[in-house]
Amino acid sequence: MHKELVDLINSNIPEAKAVFNEATDPKADASITVEASSILKLASWLRTNDHMPFNVLQCISGVDYLEYMEVCYILAHFDLNTPRELILKVKLTDRVNPNLDSIVEVYPAADFQERECYDMFGVSFNNHPDHRRILCPDDWKGFPLRKDYVPAKDYNGMLVYPDNKMNFEDREFIVRQNMIKKAQEKASES
C-alpha cells in the first residue's frame, strides 16, 4: 500500500519528494518521508483525493534524533472494506528552532496535537490558530522531551529536587546526568 501511495504522491505533488522507508523489523511499520515545505498541500491532497483518501488524523508526535528533529503524522481511513493507516514522517534539519506549516485547516484534530508537539519538542507551527503550550504551565522554560533538556532547579519558588529528599549519589541518577551531559555535547556539536 505504501509503495503505491508513494507513486501517487510523487505524480500528483512532485515537490513532496516522497521516499518509501522499508520496515527494518517484522514488528515495525513501513513509513513515508516527505519534504517539510509541502506538508500543507500534501495533507489537503491526502484528505480529498479519490484514489486513497485518509479522513482521520490519529496522532502527531515529535522525535528528537539529536542531529535533526522529526515530526510523525499517523493518518487513517476507516472503511469497512479497505481500512488503512499511513505513517508520514517529516524531517526538520533545524533542530534548535524547528518550523513547520500547520495542518489545522485540513485536519481540525491537529489543533491540540500540534500544541502538544510544540510544548514537548519546541516545533513551532506556522498559522496555528492557538499557538501556545498545552500541558506545561505558560511560563515554563525549555522543552521537556528534547534529549538535552535539563530539569529546572525550581519553579516559582518550589524546589523540584529538594536536597533533603534526594539521593544525589544514587547510581541511576548519575547515569542519567551523564546521559544528559553527553546529549548536550552532541547537540552543541551538530
Partner 1 sequence: MQDGVVLTTVDEFLNWGRKNSLWPMTFGLACCAIEMMATGAAKYDLERFGCGAFMATPRRADMMIVAGTVTLKMATRVKVLYEQMAEPKYVISMGSCSNKGGPYWQWGYHVLNGVDEVVPVDVYVPGCPPRPESLIEGVMTLQKKIANERLLRNKWVKHA
Distance (Å, whole) CA 62 – CA 158: 29
Q: How far is the CB of 167 from partner 1 (least distance, A)?
A: 8
Distance (Å, whole) CA 48 – CA 38: 16
Would you say 30 and 87 are in contact if contact means Cβ atoms under 8 Å apart?
A: yes
176 vs 186 by CB, closer to partner 1:
176
For partner 1, the binding residues (CB under 8 A) are 136-137, 144, 149, 151-152, 155-156, 158-162, 165-166, 170, 172-173, 176
138 vs 189 by CB, closer to partner 1:
138
68 vs 149 by CB, closer to partner 1:
149
Q: How far is the CB of 136 from partner 1 (least distance, A)?
A: 7
Read off the C-alpha cell for 129: 490558530
Q: How far is the CB of 183 from partner 1 (least distance, A)?
A: 15
Would you say 122 and 58 are in contact if contact means Cβ atoms under 8 Å apart?
A: no
Query: How does DSSP assign 143-175, residue by residue?
Result: -TTSTT----SEETTEESS-GGG--TT-HHHHH
56 vs 152 by CB, closer to partner 1:
152
Q: How far is the CB of 178 from partner 1 (least distance, A)?
A: 14
